[in-house]
Chains A and B, each alone.
Chain A
């Protein structure tokens, strides 16, 4: 699966929009991009997944350009509780139940008052 690269850390303030970009240059045709959030001393939590263009849910938006070599997780109007580590992963489409998830370094987001 494609290796992902993301910034190690980002800082923001409450109420701002945060965009975290992930590069995955070797993404394959049947790969999806998935983002997880992890708070300290907790397991990761699924945020959003997409294949191309734009996906939006109640938590975030995911933007994927046509070449799919990168993706951007957008968190609107962040609050202090959004302080966490965000992981971008590439997963193979199809029967994912047997697929290992390989986590990269993640992006440590710190939201300040």
Chain B
């Protein structure tokens, strides 16, 4: 089946540094990908829609200068958390639609900012 690969699966970084998370569609092309954030015991919250070759669309309340999204090819979208702070610690998940039933989600990235 369709696979979305997300890397890294976990990362620990120091406060003030930047972290890049990659999301790849392995066997299909994705013009659009989505980025979510999930805090413990909570539901997924949509952060932004990543569009290949154009600017991402951010949900209300999400700082676009802090969460930089690049979708340079039909199989790769990246999310960069800039100047990370402890409150950015969360579980980040990407997804895309392979064209069959249901969206496919990445395995997620656990970000811990210390």
Q: Which residues of A contact B (CB under 8 A)?
A: 34, 36, 41-46, 49, 87, 96-106
CB contacts under 8 Å to A, within B17-57, are: 30-32, 34, 36, 43-46, 49
A91 CA to B97 CA, complexed, in Å: 12
A34 CA to B97 CA, complexed, in Å: 14
Interface of B is mostly: strand
Given contacts A45-B105, A102-B46, A106-B43, contact A97 B95 (CB under 8 A): no
Distance (whole angstroms) from the CB of A84 to the closest CB of chain B: 13
- Complex interface: chain A residues within 8 A of B99 (CB): 97
A26 CA to B26 CA, complexed, in Å: 36
How many A-B residue contacts, CB cutoff 8 Å?
56
Best-surrounded residue of A41, A97, A102 (most CB of chain B within 10 A): A97
Residue B75 at the chain A interface, CB threshold 8 Å: no
- Complex interface: chain B residues within 8 A of A104 (CB): 43
Q: A41-B108, A97-B32 are in contact. List 7 more A-B contacts (CB 8 A).
A: A42-B108, A43-B95, A44-B95, A49-B102, A100-B49, A103-B36, A103-B44
B102: which of A34, A41, A42 is its contact (CB, 8 Å)?
A: A34
A41 CA to B106 CA, complexed, in Å: 11
Residue B93 at the chain A interface, CB threshold 8 Å: yes
A102 CA to B103 CA, complexed, in Å: 12
Please tell me if the beta carbons of A96 and B97 are within 8 angstroms of each other in the complex.
Answer: yes
Best-surrounded residue of A49, A103, A105 (most CB of chain B within 10 A): A103
Interface string of B1-25 (1 = CB under 8 A from A): 0001010000000000000000000
Residue B70 at the chain A interface, CB threshold 8 Å: no
